[in-house]
Amino acid sequence: MNSSSQTRLTGGCQCGAVRYELAQPPVRACVCHCRMCQKASGQPFMAFATVKQHDLNWTRGMPGVFRSSNLAQRGFCKDCGTPLTFKFEGEEIAVTAGSLDDPMAAPPTVQYGVESAIAWCATLGDLPRVRTEDDFGPELVARFANYQHPDSET
Protein backbone atom coordinates (compact mmCIF):
# COMPACT_ATOMS: atom_id res chain seq x y z
CA MET A 1 0.00 0.00 0.00
CA ASN A 2 1.19 3.52 -0.72
CA SER A 3 2.16 5.56 2.28
CA SER A 4 1.43 8.88 0.61
CA SER A 5 -1.21 11.23 1.89
CA GLN A 6 -3.39 10.18 -1.05
CA THR A 7 -4.16 6.95 0.75
CA ARG A 8 -5.02 8.53 4.09
CA LEU A 9 -8.46 7.55 5.25
CA THR A 10 -10.83 10.33 6.23
CA GLY A 11 -14.18 10.37 7.91
CA GLY A 12 -16.61 12.32 10.00
CA CYS A 13 -20.11 12.66 11.32
CA GLN A 14 -23.34 12.91 9.38
CA CYS A 15 -23.66 16.70 9.63
CA GLY A 16 -19.98 17.48 8.90
CA ALA A 17 -19.28 19.42 12.12
CA VAL A 18 -16.63 16.86 13.09
CA ARG A 19 -14.10 15.50 10.58
CA TYR A 20 -10.97 13.40 11.02
CA GLU A 21 -8.04 11.93 9.12
CA LEU A 22 -6.05 8.77 9.83
CA ALA A 23 -2.31 9.28 9.37
CA GLN A 24 -1.79 5.53 9.02
CA PRO A 25 -4.04 2.70 7.84
CA PRO A 26 -5.99 0.95 10.61
CA VAL A 27 -4.00 -1.67 12.50
CA ARG A 28 -7.10 -3.86 12.79
CA ALA A 29 -10.86 -3.79 12.43
CA CYS A 30 -13.64 -5.57 14.29
CA VAL A 31 -17.30 -5.65 15.07
CA CYS A 32 -18.56 -5.61 18.66
CA HIS A 33 -21.90 -7.05 19.74
CA CYS A 34 -21.57 -6.06 23.42
CA ARG A 35 -24.52 -4.48 25.18
CA MET A 36 -22.70 -1.15 25.54
CA CYS A 37 -22.04 -0.92 21.81
CA GLN A 38 -25.70 -1.75 21.19
CA LYS A 39 -26.79 1.13 23.42
CA ALA A 40 -24.12 3.56 22.20
CA SER A 41 -25.16 3.10 18.58
CA GLY A 42 -28.82 2.25 19.02
CA GLN A 43 -27.99 -0.64 16.70
CA PRO A 44 -27.46 -4.41 17.02
CA PHE A 45 -23.67 -4.06 16.84
CA MET A 46 -20.88 -1.59 16.05
CA ALA A 47 -17.97 -1.85 13.61
CA PHE A 48 -14.62 -0.22 14.34
CA ALA A 49 -11.25 0.48 12.72
CA THR A 50 -8.41 0.86 15.22
CA VAL A 51 -5.41 3.18 14.95
CA LYS A 52 -2.71 4.47 17.27
CA GLN A 53 -4.17 7.46 19.07
CA HIS A 54 -1.53 9.82 17.64
CA ASP A 55 -2.55 8.75 14.11
CA LEU A 56 -6.09 10.11 14.55
CA ASN A 57 -6.17 13.82 13.67
CA TRP A 58 -9.31 15.91 14.08
CA THR A 59 -9.51 18.19 11.04
CA ARG A 60 -12.77 19.94 11.91
CA GLY A 61 -14.51 20.28 15.26
CA MET A 62 -14.09 17.94 18.19
CA PRO A 63 -16.32 15.14 19.40
CA GLY A 64 -18.20 15.13 22.64
CA VAL A 65 -17.14 12.34 24.96
CA PHE A 66 -19.20 10.00 27.09
CA ARG A 67 -17.32 7.88 29.60
CA SER A 68 -19.28 4.64 29.36
CA SER A 69 -17.21 2.84 32.01
CA ASN A 70 -14.10 3.38 34.11
CA LEU A 71 -12.15 1.78 31.25
CA ALA A 72 -13.70 3.31 28.14
CA GLN A 73 -14.92 6.51 26.55
CA ARG A 74 -16.96 7.07 23.44
CA GLY A 75 -16.78 10.09 21.15
CA PHE A 76 -19.76 11.41 19.20
CA CYS A 77 -20.84 14.51 17.32
CA LYS A 78 -22.55 16.91 19.70
CA ASP A 79 -24.62 18.35 16.85
CA CYS A 80 -25.94 15.29 15.02
CA GLY A 81 -25.19 12.41 17.40
CA THR A 82 -23.08 10.25 15.09
CA PRO A 83 -20.96 7.80 17.14
CA LEU A 84 -17.34 8.44 16.12
CA THR A 85 -14.82 6.79 18.44
CA PHE A 86 -14.25 4.16 21.08
CA LYS A 87 -11.25 4.57 23.36
CA PHE A 88 -10.23 1.83 25.76
CA GLU A 89 -7.17 1.81 28.01
CA GLY A 90 -3.88 1.93 26.11
CA GLU A 91 -2.49 3.89 23.18
CA GLU A 92 -5.08 2.92 20.58
CA ILE A 93 -8.41 4.42 19.60
CA ALA A 94 -11.04 3.07 17.24
CA VAL A 95 -13.16 5.06 14.80
CA THR A 96 -16.57 3.78 13.82
CA ALA A 97 -16.37 2.02 10.48
CA GLY A 98 -19.52 3.71 9.22
CA SER A 99 -18.08 7.17 9.87
CA LEU A 100 -15.20 6.48 7.46
CA ASP A 101 -15.71 8.07 4.06
CA ASP A 102 -14.81 4.62 2.71
CA PRO A 103 -16.27 2.09 5.16
CA MET A 104 -15.08 -0.77 2.97
CA ALA A 105 -11.48 0.21 3.74
CA ALA A 106 -11.56 -1.57 7.09
CA PRO A 107 -13.12 -5.04 6.81
CA PRO A 108 -13.51 -6.68 10.24
CA THR A 109 -11.46 -9.73 11.12
CA VAL A 110 -12.98 -10.59 14.52
CA GLN A 111 -16.27 -10.28 16.43
CA TYR A 112 -16.23 -9.22 20.09
CA GLY A 113 -18.96 -9.21 22.72
CA VAL A 114 -20.57 -12.30 21.19
CA GLU A 115 -22.28 -13.17 24.49
CA SER A 116 -24.70 -10.32 23.69
CA ALA A 117 -24.99 -10.94 19.94
CA ILE A 118 -28.53 -10.70 18.64
CA ALA A 119 -29.31 -14.01 16.99
CA TRP A 120 -30.78 -12.58 13.80
CA CYS A 121 -27.49 -10.85 12.94
CA ALA A 122 -26.19 -14.24 11.85
CA THR A 123 -28.90 -14.65 9.22
CA LEU A 124 -29.05 -11.13 7.73
CA GLY A 125 -27.50 -12.50 4.57
CA ASP A 126 -30.57 -14.66 4.00
CA LEU A 127 -33.00 -11.70 3.88
CA PRO A 128 -34.37 -10.19 0.65
CA ARG A 129 -32.21 -7.34 -0.67
CA VAL A 130 -33.73 -4.03 -1.87
CA ARG A 131 -31.91 -1.04 -3.40
CA THR A 132 -32.95 2.39 -2.05
CA GLU A 133 -34.19 3.67 -5.41
CA ASP A 134 -36.39 0.58 -5.75
CA ASP A 135 -37.72 1.08 -2.21
CA PHE A 136 -38.42 4.81 -2.76
CA GLY A 137 -39.79 4.63 -6.28
CA PRO A 138 -39.24 7.33 -8.93
CA GLU A 139 -41.49 10.03 -7.40
CA LEU A 140 -39.71 10.01 -4.03
CA VAL A 141 -36.29 9.71 -5.68
CA ALA A 142 -37.09 12.83 -7.74
CA ARG A 143 -37.85 15.02 -4.72
CA PHE A 144 -35.31 13.56 -2.30
CA ALA A 145 -32.79 16.11 -0.96
CA ASN A 146 -29.68 14.83 0.86
CA TYR A 147 -28.53 17.00 3.81
CA GLN A 148 -25.75 14.62 4.83
CA HIS A 149 -22.15 15.85 4.65
CA PRO A 150 -20.47 14.31 1.57
CA ASP A 151 -17.96 11.47 1.90
CA SER A 152 -15.02 13.79 1.25
CA GLU A 153 -13.27 16.83 2.66
CA THR A 154 -15.11 20.07 1.86
The contact set with Zn ion (CB under 5 A) reads 13, 15, 17, 32, 34, 37, 77, 79-80, 113
Distance CA 34, CA 47 (A): 11
- Judged by CB, which is closer to Zn ion: 9, or 33? 33
Distance CA 49, CA 85 (A): 9
Give the nearest distance from C-beta 112 to Zn ion in angstroms: 6
Please check whether residue 23 is in contact with residue 55, taking contact to mean a CB–CB distance below 8 angstroms. Answer: yes
Give the nearest distance from C-beta 84 to Zn ion in angstroms: 9
- Judged by CB, which is closer to Zn ion: 135, or 147? 147
- Judged by CB, which is closer to Zn ion: 51, or 74? 74
Give the nearest distance from C-beta 140 to Zn ion in angstroms: 25
The distance from CA 140 to its chain's CA centroid, rounded to whole angstroms, is 27
Distance CA 38, CA 117 (A): 9
